[in-house]
Chains A and B, each alone.
Chain A
Amino acid sequence: MILAGDSQHLGDLKLVKAAKCGDSSAVKDFAQRIKCAAKFLSIQNRRMGSPANDEELADLAQDVVLVVLRKMGGYEGRGSIESWVYRIARLELLVYLRERGRRPAPVGDMLDAAGGGSPKGDERFAITVVHRALARLRPHEVELVELRHLEGLTWDKIGARLDCPANTAKTRYHRALVKLQNYVHDRDGEDG
């Protein structure tokens, strides 16, 4: 199963570091693990109504791998390798489609289903902006957002994970959220 606990993430961190240092066994294992990039692109593309063809997806998969390789030093093992690769693949695909003016239909449905709208009237643009804003947050801030929205943990569990009371976790989370909101809307990140 791809979603994994902390212990595997620590293993993932060791694997990425060893691969980055050129350890041949680690490089081979790492190469196998990040093959999922192509699968993520293909599945997401299908869910969006297949706006990209197979040739484009194959090229994109290579682009994603190059971004992954470039960002290896920034991987901190907070999520699994697959989760990390997924987010890079997601952003690359969205940017690629936006630059080519292709609209993936279900993204809008997804936002509607979530009860939200689009800040700029372009859902794909909004998602891309949010991903880029997330990349500007500090690691501990991203962790809070991920624990809440990606892992879907309760506040008690988030507090336990971060070794702090649930109320403290809530306050820190909201501070991160305000900062993210400011980045999304091109304001300085620290106000609120």
Chain B
Amino acid sequence: MDARHLEILERIATGELDREDPAVVELCRESEEFRARLAEQSELLAVLEAEGGEEREVLALAAEDDSAAPGEDRIPTLVLESLVVEPGGRRRSVWVRTVLVAAAVVALLVLQWSRGTDEGGETLLGPPGVELLEPVGEVERVAAFRWDYDLPPGGWFQLTLRFDDGTSFKTSSRIMRAEWKPEPDLGERLSAGFAWEVTGFGPTGSVVARGGPARVDASY
């Protein structure tokens, strides 16, 4: 690829030159590398154009759509809970947290009072925090995950790992104790940066508690 090739590619990408232009066709015949780069560029531009169009359409549709989407109602609670806790699991604002806890207690009392009796043994309030104990922050290695939360009888935990490359991992089997030892094939992935969260479920499968995300940077 020389400067002329790059210039032609730029002119095609910016719309100055058509890729069917005789000069471009001739260059494609002359240079296999140019032809390959042009094909790659065209594919990338097609994806970018399509994605741009999709984004504009979806944003416009969303602006006109007044119906409730699945999970939409849970978002404010999740945001409120998460933004009063720092990534490391420490409390960011004692005042805000105190207000939230007080509100949760009042709501719990109201709910219990309105029910008269505890029908299912589960509380369906906005989930309180599971306290993530370790690992948190910079650590040498990740041997086990530990947290603190008392589940109702029959409840279980699920742990989620979110890696810096955008992928995630969720435990598939029910965790019955407030501890989880990572599977050996996760070892290498845990040596880089990631965040983890814990969700607590009641016996009927409804969410009763959440904790995290807590950021971990392992250095081994």
A interface residue numbers (CB < 8 A to B): 1-3, 19-20, 22, 24, 27-28, 30-32, 34-44, 47, 54-55, 57-63, 65-67, 69-70, 82-83, 86-87, 90-91, 95, 110-111, 113-119, 126-127, 130-132, 135, 145, 148-150, 152, 155, 170-171, 173-174, 177-178, 180-181, 184-185, 192
Contact = CB atoms under 8 A, between A and B. Distances in A.
Contacts, number: 196
Given A57-B69, A177-B44, A178-B6, 16 more contacts: A2-B63, A24-B96, A31-B80, A34-B79, A35-B72, A47-B54, A55-B70, A61-B69, A61-B71, A86-B58, A115-B46, A116-B42, A119-B40, A170-B14, A170-B16, A174-B13
B10 to A, nearest CB: 4
B47 A111 contact: yes
A20 B86 CA distance: 9
Q: Which secondary structure dominates where chain A touches chain B?
A: helix
Contacts of B186: none
Given A58-B71, A185-B40, A39 B62 contact: yes
Interface in B56-97: 56, 58-63, 65, 69-72, 74-76, 78-80, 82-84, 87, 92-93, 96
Contacts of A70: 87, 162, 195, 213
A116 B80 contact: no
30 contacts: A3-B60, A20-B83, A22-B83, A27-B84, A31-B76, A38-B72, A38-B75, A39-B69, A39-B72, A43-B69, A47-B54, A57-B69, A58-B71, A61-B70, A70-B195, A86-B55, A95-B166, A95-B167, A111-B47, A116-B45, A116-B46, A130-B47, A130-B51, A132-B165, A177-B45, A178-B6, A181-B40, A181-B41, A192-B1, A192-B6
B47 A126 contact: yes
B43 interface: yes
B47 A116 contact: yes
A70 B60 CA distance: 26
A65 B78 contact: yes
A97 B124 CA distance: 29
B9 A39 contact: no
Interface of B: 1, 6, 9-10, 13-14, 16, 37, 40-56, 58-63, 65, 69-72, 74-76, 78-80, 82-84, 87, 92-93, 96, 99, 162, 165-168, 195, 197, 213
B47 A127 contact: yes
Contact of A43 (B53, B61, B92, B165): B61
